[in-house]
Amino acid sequence: MTELAVGFIGLGNVGGQLARNLLRHGVDLTVRDLDPGRVAALVARGARSAASPRELAERVDLLITCLPSPAVCAAVMEAPDGVLAGLAPGKIWLEMSTTDAAEARRLAARVEALGAIAMDCPVSGGCHRAATGNISIFAGGSRAAFERVLPVLAILGRQILHTGPVGSASVLKVITNYLCPVHLAALAEALTVARVAGLDLNMTYEGIRISSGNSFVHETESRVILNGSRDINFTMDLVVKDVGLFDALARAHQVPLELSPLVLSVFEDGVRRYGPREHSPNIIRRLEEACGVRVLGEGFPPKMVDDEPKIPGSEVVPRARSSRPSPESGEGQR
């Protein structure tokens, strides 16, 4: 358990689950969200609420934002009654949204100019793992800051990777988020071909799972595809945002991509056909409709469930590193 008073802004699909984990571990928590129902649900569990981001920042030692876009985060941070107005020397800001690395660095500079500490700490693994505290966390910032916040991160997640300076975690998150829809689009094609070719889809699922074609996306999202719910608490507009961030990153570094623009066009077509808030695994509907079939199995769950017990989080040390760098080493400093 941490002795830090923690604030949490953004109680959506992922943020709400992360905040509940903090409460379950007895953390002194203050929350804020534009949806009063989300706030009330956590207050009923023992959290306190704040009237503004500034008030929340003034009350806590460590503040977490988990918001849907860089623009929303900037507004929450920089409004007259925003987070920056309530920060003071020694306080800590963790940006857990999926955001642009340049924007993370820009806001971090403003935080640090106030004498506070900034880190970008996006998460990966899905809402079901956020709910159990088994999600993975990328953490960008100084080594000293990382070690200070590690007890809180160990409550929120299971595998925690220090990625380097502020902004590095957001770059890695954009890369890993791009890979998810690539796998999803490929699985939609593979499962549809299996269906049209007459294969049993329960058998096909297991065949992919035990083969070199397996992936985390298959073991989670293929199950809700075959159930028919296609519900993973992630929508097509968010896929378009994520792949767009990856495209922008590649263009900024003049990397000539071929696959990414194609995947982006597939999901943009999905948004046009089914709406921005359609579940992302329903991208398979494009192929189901073209082939006149339904891609369904039997006995698969309607939602992704993490059935692994919560294990206290710990740092993942990259290969070829014989030991963790010390705070005095300067590694990871801005």
Residues labelled catalytic: 173
Q: How many CB atoms lie within 10 A of CB 209?
A: 14
Q: At 264, list the tokens.
A: 């982006």
For the chain, how many helices (H) and strands (E)? 14, 10
The values of phi and psi at residue 164, to 5°, are 125, -150
Best CA proximity match to 117, nearest among 129, 125, 126, 108: 108
- What is the torsion angle, in degrees rounded to the nearest 10, for the CA atoms of residue 113, residue 117, residue 118 and residue 124? 180
Q: Is 233 left (phi over 0), alpha (psi -120 to 50) or beta?
A: left
Separation of alpha carbons 268 and 271, rounded Å: 5
Separation of alpha carbons 242 and 262, rounded Å: 14
